[in-house]
Amino acid sequence: MSRIFSGVQPTGNLHLGNYLGAIRNFVGLQENYECIYCAVDMHAITVWQDPAALRSNTREVAAAYLAAGVDPKTSIIFAQSNVPAHAELAWIFNCIARLGWLNRMTQFKEKAGKNRENASLGLYAYPSLMAADILAYKATHVPVGEDQKQHLELTRDIAQKFNNDYGVDLFPIVEPLIFGEATRVMSLRDGSKKMSKSDPSDYSRITFTDDRDTIAKKLRKARTDADPLPGSEEGLENRPEAANLVGIYAALAESSKQDVLTEFGGSQFSTFKPILTELAVEKFGPVGEEMKRLMADPGHVDAILKEGAARAHKLTEPVMREVKEVVGFIAP
């Protein structure tokens, strides 16, 4: 059976982009794949995290997986730092990945900003840890939003170089799984930026914890142009904010952008936004409510994370034995 690995950073403000681009897709994959879903807390600390908030946010990611419909009996849900293979394999991959490859990573450039000298070494090496996350399980497929495509390319390069350097066929060449009409949900304040947890404006995103009134207010204030919705997709060109809201509607309704435009072409945003709000409240609201309910019992979430970590650790053991043997480390 093919194996899925994916993760979300517990950095707070989990949002609709994380849901539509990643977490919602985790659920359907359980039918045909062995699935491993992680709260990647070691990735989170590549930028400063308050320790108490990190613990709570890690539980929140697990609760979001459960609320969306991930079944902890079949799939594995765990926290990255609880399985040592991630850090161990990341070090080996740091010695495989080339500086030139990492220098090309756009996420590092965006997150480090102008003050690159002051960014952590961990932020720079982030894609190498991500490759380790996936390959410690020899996962074959990775469901992600479009923003992670470049990092997955690097995972493929690392796997290939490791296999070539050591003359083995140890790591699979992973495939990204990018689904639906909302592979890149954009900020509600600026259609050229992706919706993100770290955007300083809370009005840029709809979060799992937003109630009906907050969702309504954020969508009402969402930036748009003055024209009505077009009747076909070509009409969305150079209208990023309009394209974003139509994409969100299509993803929530599990239809296509064209179907949405066939229904709402010619409508003003003052008509479309309240209808989009109702759909968001109907489809996304209950997931957030369930996440909050689960968060009220952290002991239950911790028990699921503990059991998941034990199962995940077991899966990594034979892989790490094989890797260490190939690299030339003496068995303990």
Residues within the annotated binding site?
A: 9-11, 17-18, 133, 145-147, 185, 194-198
Q: Is 149 a catalytic residue?
A: no
Q: Is 17 in the site for ligand AQP (CB under 6 A)?
A: yes
Binding residues with ligand AQP: total (CB under 6 A):
19
Task: Give the residues across from 175 on adjacent strands.
Answer: 141
The pair phi, psi for residue 230, each rounded to 5°, is -80, 170
The pair phi, psi for residue 29, each rounded to 5°, is -70, -20
Nearest CB to ligand AQP, comparing residues 176 and 298? 176
Q: How far is the CB of 25 from ligand AQP (least distance, A)?
A: 9
Question: What residues contact residue 328 under an 8 Å CB cut-off, 6+ apart?
Answer: none
* Binding piece for ligand AQP, criterion CB under 6 A, among 93-101, 168-176, 190-198, 291-299: 190-198
Nearest CB to ligand AQP, comparing residues 9 and 82? 9
Q: How far is the CB of 270 from ligand AQP (least distance, A)?
A: 25
Q: Is 193 a catalytic residue?
A: no
Amino acid identity for residue 313 in this structure: H
Q: Is 217 in the site for ligand AQP (CB under 6 A)?
A: no
Q: Contact with ligand AQP (CB under 6 A): which of 198, 232, 262, 268?
A: 198
Q: Is 81 in the site for ligand AQP (CB under 6 A)?
A: no
Q: Is 64 helix (H, G, I), strand (E, B) or coil?
A: helix
Which residue, 125, 47, 54, is CA-closest to 89? 125
Cβ–Cβ < 8 Å for 72, 304: yes
Helix axes 240-253, 269-283, angle to 10 degrees: 40
Cβ–Cβ < 8 Å for 21, 108: no
Q: Contact with ligand AQP (CB under 6 A): which of 3, 4, 5, 22?
A: 22
- The residue whose Cβ lies closest to ligand AQP is 21
Q: Is 145 in the site for ligand AQP (CB under 6 A)?
A: yes
Q: 140-165 as b/e, with b when 16 or more CB fall inside 10 Å?
A: bbbbbbebbeebbbbbbbbbebbbee
Cβ–Cβ < 8 Å for 230, 261: yes
Q: Which helix (H) or strand (E) holds 43?
A: helix 41-44
Q: Is 144 in the site for ligand AQP (CB under 6 A)?
A: yes
Q: Is 273 a catalytic residue?
A: no
Counting Cβ atoms within 10 Å, is residue 174 exposed (0-12), middle (13-18) or buried (19+)? buried
Nearest CB to ligand AQP, comparing residues 201 and 232? 201
Question: Which residue among the candidates 138, 197, 218, 257 is catalytic per the annotation?
Answer: 197
Q: Is 58 in the site for ligand AQP (CB under 6 A)?
A: no
Q: What amino acid positions are annotated as catalytic residues?
A: 111, 194, 197
Which positions lie near ligand AQP, rule CB under 6 A?
8-9, 11, 17-18, 21-22, 144-145, 147-148, 183-185, 194-198
